[in-house]
Structure 1
Amino acid sequence: MTNDKQAAISSDQIARYQAQLKERADAKVVERAVTHQGILATSADYASDTDMTPVFSIELETGKVANQKQSGRCWMFAALNTMRHHLADLFHLSDFELSQNYTNFWDKFEKSNYFYQNVLKTADQPLNSRKVAFLMATPQQDGGQWDMLCAIIEKYGIVPKSVMPETYSSSKSSELNKTLNEKLRKDAITLRALVVKGASDSDIATARDKMLGEVYRLLCYTLGEPAQKFDFEYRDDDKNYHIDRDLTPKSFYDKYVGWNLADYVSIINAPTADKPYNKTYTIEMLGNVVGGRQVKHLNVTMADFKQLAIAQLKDGQSVWFGCDVGQSSDRQKGIMDTHAFNKNELLDIDLNMTKAQRLDYGDSLMTHAMVITGVDLVDGQPTKWKVENSWGDKVGTKGYFVMSDSWMDEYCYQVVVNKKYLSDELRQAQSEAPTMLEPWDPMGALAAN
């Protein structure tokens, strides 16, 4: 193994690198371009614009896109969008949104309790243990996964956006997240101290109850208090007036959405050696509702992954999916394409890695959730996909993006489909008990962009 003295950069090395650079005829041209425009703009391949024309052989009409603004609730917006598509079709309500603030309130409340539970479970471990350090790094955040949204809806239902609209702190969440995480870390000090001194379960429960009461108050101050009963008043697309009185959030969900959320399962593509295909996985310390729905993924090949999404689209239902949106993506144009930028050619550096290598070496993981609303099939095979984002209508094509099929191969990690589309073999695999992964596994990443 090379020692530190041998590994130190020498002046001879630097002189050699300088000479090599001078020998390159294009060095100054590239330098001038990149210093003025940056790597991405200089390496942009405009042929991608033509290939990613937003026309699709299968396309669902899903209306105006939503806007999560300065918050990390993409997973929540995407999930509620799939439900509002169904609701809008059924009740003729094209300009309608479900309340993302309502689910956000209960998610943060439940995440706080989930954090307390994990603090108590790890209270016998030192502060510098990897699990405790992981837990304290981010006690809670805006991000999440599909199963976590299901856990909230199964317990609390949902409401129309008119019943619990956005607030300053829901649309611009950094102040609330910082304050709530301060409180949770302070509470962790108290809970760990109680365990160390051998406090009774009753004393710990009393302290925890007080903490949760304070969290509830903080969330009410910043997000507003959730409605327990409400009237749903609206005009449909034909201008007909409707009013439905004395609804609860759960009765509203049952009547206006009515999905059996147990039928919708998470499918992932993680081609790493530690995750064999056709097996299920869960992640330690990942969740929000204590005693609620567990995060559970079925890992499948990319061919199965795509065909499941296509089957659901063909039946007229959009598809929630999770991806690494920052990779080879032009936010303003709304293009996600492996050929959108050619950094290798510009820099003459080989940056290629396999999907598995990116996951194993920390170069990629799920960062964002959106909704697939269309696909272009040529000879039965997908070439590009239509994507509904939640960044408002000023980006992409009125908020809609185009994703190349090759980009899906490389940077898509999760889709959610009705399990009726699974083959008998996959359905059996999905029903099996999951393997527990470490808390920091990339499949435990929260969509939060």
Structure 2
Amino acid sequence: MTDTTSFTPLTPSMIDGYTEAFDAREANRIAMNAVVNAGIDDVARNYDRARTLQRRFSVTVDNGEVTNQRRSGRCWLFSSLNVARFVAKRNLGLKTFEFSQNYAMYFDKLERCNYFLQDLAALALAGEPEDSRLVQTLLHDVMGDGGQWTMAMNVYKKYGAVPKDFFPETASSQNTGQMNTSLRTLLRQAVCRIWQAQGDAARIGKVIDATREAAHRILTIHLGEPPKSFFWEWTDEDGEFHRDGEITPQEFWNKYVDAGLEDYVCLVDDPRAEHPKGTKIGIEHLGNVVGGDPTEYLNVPAAFMKDCVRRILTEQGIPVWFGADCHPMMDRKNGAWATDLFEYGRVYDTVFDMDKEERVRFADSAMNHAMAFVGVDVADDGTTTNRWRVENSWGSDIADKGYFTMDDPWFDEYVYEVAVPKSMLPAEYLEALDRPAIMLPAWDPMGALA
């Protein structure tokens, strides 16, 4: 127990002193009046930086109208399917096309229920205390909407994908709160029963079986019953009609999304010195499909990540999935990110000077949103990047019809992960992929989900 006897209490005289100092500086009252009436972002927005952030790019990949995840945390599914739909549109000759994100979420959540139950049962049988930090972390984080590129590929490899018309959005897919609350209660109740079984494997197995079936029932009630096959026909952008006949979701994915996305490698920029660049990182207990690929990353410098993204956009002409901390220095309405876009320190008369490593280490920053790069402005030298075009999944009513602009220094500070073809890696990085990963605990910030 912490000894608080040496702590200094906050006293009325201290507060009076702070108030006196506040009132003595005229700029504080001006700032208060402005922020109270207009809000901090409108007051702190750097006018000069905002007006000089160009929305032009030397390379642009046209992926059509943006999607909208509504009140759900499915950005990782939306963004990965946005990459996949670009490939599918190219193969089908379509100008517009969208995959069913509801279908992907259905099977992710069903698989994740099973993964969680198996994982917690193994801990119980190994004698892990129910009140350990690990068990409590897993219970706290259960059944959110977030995920990772590798987790998305696990779903697509096993279940394929379907056009949105064949499994459209529902009230619960667009607003997942109540469905997730019900699933969390179901799973936590199952964990309670697992620990009450006191190591009886047969009894634990019955709890898992009953809970999986109940989870399937809850998901189907909320999201609908996903198709096992569908009859596929379409008219391409040249007006030519095509009929493919009955096809399964797995066959559709394998036939029309043929860019090898399943074999991509996830690169991360973990800035902490104890995790050297060129090593593989894994997160314990992080996954969704039992038997699927583990969630692992190759830790590389941000400059290498940038180089890969630039080359994919300029040489292959395909969108690139990435994960970032989207909140800092974001102008959501106008669709802009820049490290100097808001002058909060000047308004508050306070210095904010933590670097990326310090922000990660002290819980001020972690990946929380996934999107796709669809453009870049490259300087005349052919390698230096000035800014990036980003396809978001927040609808077309904001930004440039839903597309955002990212200043290049913002990439260095707040982008954490990109998914790229394995073939782009040099020999030393390929060798690192073959070595065992440095395993980090379940609560490590690199395990944050987009």
Alpha-carbon distance in 1 for matches of 2:386, 2:209: 53
Tell me the TM-score normalised to structure 2 length.
Answer: 0.95
Alpha-carbon distance in 2 for matches of 1:48, 1:225: 49
Task: State the match for 1:404 in structure 2.
Answer: 407
In structure 2, do the counterparts of structure 1 residues 363 and 202 end up closer, same or farther at CA, with 3 Å as the change threshold? Answer: same
Shift of 1:205: 2.4
Q: What secondary structure is seen at the aligned counterpart in 2 of 1:243?
A: strand
Between 80-89 and 422-431, report the one with greater CA deviation.
422-431
**Do structure 1's residue 130 and structure 2's residue 129 form an aligned pair?**
no
Tell me the TM-score normalised to structure 1 length.
Answer: 0.96
Between 17-26 and 218-227, report the one with greater CA deviation.
17-26
Give the 5 Å matches for 1:32-431.
32-123=33-124, 124-194=127-197, 196=198, 198-199=199-200, 201-314=201-314, 315-378=316-379, 379=381, 380-431=383-434
Between 203-212 and 222-231, report the one with greater CA deviation.
203-212
Q: What secondary structure is seen at the aligned counterpart in 2 of 1:432?
A: coil
Letter in 1 for 2:255: K
Shift of 1:54: 1.4
Letter in 2 for 1:191: I
Q: Percent identity?
A: 37
In structure 2, do the counterparts of structure 1 residues 40 and 58 end up closer, same or farther at CA, with 3 Å as the change threshold? Answer: same
Alpha-carbon distance in 2 for matches of 1:401, 1:219: 33
Shift of 1:233: 2.0
Letter in 1 for 2:358: Q
1:13-61 CA-to-partner distances (Å, cap 9, x unmatched) read 3333233223213121111111112222110012232332211011111
In structure 2, do the counterparts of structure 1 residues 29 and 132 end up closer, same or farther at CA, with 3 Å as the change threshold? Answer: same
The partner residue of 2:437 within 429, 434, 439 is 434
* Unpaired runs of at least 5, structure 1: none
Letter in 2 for 1:60: V
Q: What secondary structure is seen at the aligned counterpart in 1 of 2:298?
A: strand
Letter in 2 for 1:386: R
Between 5-14 and 269-278, report the one with greater CA deviation.
5-14
Shift of 1:390: 0.4
Letter in 2 for 1:179: S
Q: What secondary structure is seen at the aligned counterpart in 1 of 2:345?
A: helix
Shift of 1:3: 6.3
Shift of 1:242: 1.7
In structure 2, do the counterparts of structure 1 residues 12 and 6 end up closer, same or farther at CA, with 3 Å as the change threshold? Answer: farther
1:247-270 CA-to-partner distances (Å, cap 9, x unmatched) read 111111111112334420100011
Q: What secondary structure is seen at the aligned counterpart in 2 of 1:397?
A: coil
Alpha-carbon distance in 2 for matches of 1:369, 1:324: 9
Q: What secondary structure is seen at the aligned counterpart in 2 of 1:122?
A: helix
1:176-209 CA-to-partner distances (Å, cap 9, x unmatched) read 1111111111111112222x1x42x344323322
1:394-423 CA-to-partner distances (Å, cap 9, x unmatched) read 011000000111111111000000111112
Checking the alignment, whether the CA contact within 8 Å between 2:325 and 2:367 is kept in structure 1 is yes
Checking the alignment, whether the CA contact within 8 Å between 1:79 and 1:149 is kept in structure 2 is yes
Checking the alignment, whether the CA contact within 8 Å between 2:121 and 2:204 is kept in structure 1 is no
Between 2-11 and 53-62, report the one with greater CA deviation.
2-11
Checking the alignment, whether the CA contact within 8 Å between 2:190 and 2:207 is kept in structure 1 is no
Alpha-carbon distance in 1 for matches of 2:136, 2:7: 34
1:184-237 CA-to-partner distances (Å, cap 9, x unmatched) read 11111112222x1x42x3443233222211111111111111111111122211
Checking the alignment, whether the CA contact within 8 Å between 1:82 and 1:319 is kept in structure 2 is yes
Number of paired residues? 444
Alpha-carbon distance in 2 for matches of 1:58, 1:355: 28
Letter in 1 for 2:353: N
Letter in 2 for 1:209: D
Q: What secondary structure is seen at the aligned counterpart in 1 of 2:164?
A: coil
In structure 2, do the counterparts of structure 1 residues 228 and 41 end up closer, same or farther at CA, with 3 Å as the change threshold? Answer: same
